[in-house]
Copies of this chain bind each other. A is one copy, B any other.
Amino acid sequence: MTDAHAELAELATALRPALLRLTRVIRAQRADMSITLTKLSALATLYQRGPMSAGELAAQERVQPPSMTKVIAGLEASGYVYRETDPADRRQSILAVTQAGADLLEEERRSRDAWLTGHLGVLTPAERNAIAAAIPALAKLADS
């Protein structure tokens, strides 16, 4: 007789190290690049989803507000994002990506030596399809 919980625990046990190690590898590969993975991710989200407040961006990225404050400060200092006080609620600022930020994202996307893009090319089409098919479920897990 099948134990459903044991099966889920098995899946969790297999998934956890795969996520952790791959994230480590991706971070390490970025060590000598212009911005870190954390900053790149926040910048990409802001670009894709459009201008938003610091709190909204923190929620999107699944970090606490003080963590996002530091990430934004770095992106702002580098000239990749700017902010304007929301006239409707002066506690908030609306963040947006600058042209330099958009250029950086485009460069990252296009770059032939971007590690993850290059290594995805080493996988078989079936393996890439398997990853593509799993992304919505992984995103749903992060949301739940």
Which A residues have a C-beta under 8 Å from some C-beta of B? 4-5, 8-9, 11-26, 28, 37-38, 41, 44-45, 61-63, 109-110, 112, 114, 116-123, 127-128, 130-142, 144
Please classify the interface of chain A as helix (H, G, I), strand (E, B), loop, or mixed, using the class held by over half of its residues. Answer: helix
Contact A21 B120 (CB under 8 A): no
- Between-chain CB contacts (< 8 Å), 30 pairs: A4-B121, A8-B117, A8-B120, A9-B110, A9-B114, A11-B128, A11-B131, A13-B109, A14-B132, A15-B135, A17-B41, A17-B44, A18-B138, A18-B142, A19-B19, A19-B22, A19-B23, A20-B23, A20-B41, A20-B61, A21-B139, A21-B142, A24-B61, A24-B62, A24-B142, A25-B141, A127-B136, A127-B140, A130-B136, A133-B133
